Amino acid sequence: MGRSFVLASMPTTGRDTLSPRPINSLARLRAMLAPAPAAAAIVLGLGSSANAQAIPWSDEVSAPWNTQRIFEPSSLPKLDDPDTQEEVPPEDTPVKNRQQPGYEPVGIRYGSWMFNPALISGGFYDSNVFSSNTSKQSDVAAVIEPTLRAHTLWERHGMDLKLDTQQTLYSQHSSLNQTNASLKGSGWIDLAHDMQVLTSFQIAHLNEGVGTLSSPSNAIAPTPYNLLSGDVTLRKEFNRLTTSIGMRTDSYDYGSTRAQDGTVINQDARDGQIYSLHSRIDYAISSTLGWFAGAEGNERNIRGLPGATLDSQGYRALTGMTIGLSNLISGEFGFGYVQQTFVDPTIGTVEGPSYRARLTWRPTRLLDIHFNAEQLVTQTSETSATGVLANALQLGFDYELRRNVILSVSGGYEKDRFFGQLRNDRVITSDARVKYLINRFAAVSAYYRFTARSSDVATFSYDKHLVGMNVTAQF
């Protein structure tokens, strides 16, 4: 579903490692560019923009950005002298994203900037393109996705930009064709050795796939929307204590889609802005154990339907522990409370205990096992305004068959409880993927995904199989 409806949704970001003493610029740069082993998410369904879950699992978080994702796992500090720290070898980085020598992209350096162009092309088969439980229709589609990443090599401060477009063309159902385009940027400014300003933005034209949680049930075309978002966070270290405070805004402008009978389905009711304030505190008890507390308050000004606005105000607060036992186990566990009060009295207040957990277990250097769990409040706009309390679990693993062959398998379960209508949904997903790195310039991946949504309202129940292959060329 669209990111506008996720209470704790943030851009793909991470954070710098904590440090009890000043570090030099080179050590700081290495820390910023190194992957954060505490992150534990698996990417699902790259072949289709349709995402049936209210809680999409994000890409692996890497330094220095997850102070802007206050409910994401944070890296534990390196309490030894940073000048004596050794560079992390590839075999001690996450299996899915590790850069083996000879397979890393070359890049094009221009002054203090590095550019990495890439082109992904492929296709997939979808057994139920309209996510229907009565009229299943299959089709094949071609996908082409050029991307360009540019990042700085400065000793202080930094900037990371990514421009990408994706076009999906169906063989028989041209109404499903879509084009996405996005420009994302992240940056950090070192005000001092222990204080940074972290920023991010996104400007995008995207499409919400048929069959997603908030897509109209009778739609035969994706729902286009424009997204403009930005975040500014101030992060300050006090020896073992790290604090951050920031603000974020997201603006959404939805277009129209079409129904099976050819009529236009206006989605202007979903236009609006979401404003949020967020803050987090981390305390390093040791190099293997930390405590955190995070909170986010939001104001959602969503147009809604006549007489049924989707405006709401709410907050989410979590506290818990961050663990990192060498390269064996890393993760974060948080518990707290969530509340979202909707102006529409038919929805009212959705509230209750909340939780979020991320855990990665590495029994060997060839295997990463992930566990994810989360609860949040979201909303949809169908034929009526509706609030949703979503709970999700996911278990998966990444296995390095060879240095250049990665196998990823995962399964997930989500339960969505609706407020404002009598409806409860259950979503089951499974995903299998194999990636073959030919050399540093090319890779091939094949994937299979199964999605099944079971709803008290039969119209929303469906299942589908997705099988595809991608070829990536990069430099």
∠ CA 348-354-357, rounded to 5°: 150
Q: Enter the tokens of residue 451.
A: 């999605």
Query: By C-alpha distance, which of 62, 37, 65 is closest to 186?
Result: 65
Measured distance CA(447)–CA(408) in Å, rounded: 9
Task: Give SS3 for 445.
Answer: strand
pLDDT at res. 4: 35
Query: Which residues have C-beta within 8 Å of that of residue 242, sequence separation ≥ 6?
Result: 18, 67, 235, 236, 281, 282, 283, 284
Cβ neighbours of residue 399 under 8 Å, at least 6 residues apart? 95, 366, 367, 368, 406, 407, 408
Domain that holds residue 445: 3-474
Sign of the C-alpha dihedral computed for residues 431, 437, 441 and 443 taken in this order: negative
Q: What are the tens digits of pLDDT across the range 76-111? A: 656 555 555 567 777 778 888 888 888 888 999 999
Collapsing DSSP to helix, strand or coil, 469 comes out as strand
| Residue 72: per-residue pLDDT | 65
Torsion over CA of 315, 321, 325 and 329, rounded to 10 degrees? -50
- Which residues, 6+ apart, have CB-to-CB distance to 157 below 8 Å? 187, 188, 189, 190
Q: Give the model's pLDDT for residue 384.
A: 44
Q: What are phi and psi of 147, to 5 degrees?
A: -135, 155
Q: What is the pLDDT of residue 303?
A: 84
Residue-level pLDDT at 393: 92
Confirm if 139 and 172 have CB atoms less than 8 A apart.
yes
pLDDT given at position 437: 95
pLDDT tens string 362-388: 999 999 999 999 887 776 654 344 678
φ, ψ at 4 (rounded to 5°): -65, -15
d(CA 71, CA 6): 12
Q: How many domains does the chain have?
A: 1
Which residue bears the tokens 């277990």?
361
The pLDDT averaged over each successive group of 10 residues in the chain (475 residues) is 34 33 34 32 32 60 50 61 62 83 90 96 95 90 97 91 96 94 93 91 92 77 93 91 92 90 86 92 90 92 79 92 86 91 84 89 93 80 62 94 94 87 89 95 96 88 94 95
CATH number of the domain enclosing 391: 2.40.170
- What pLDDT does 8 receive? 32
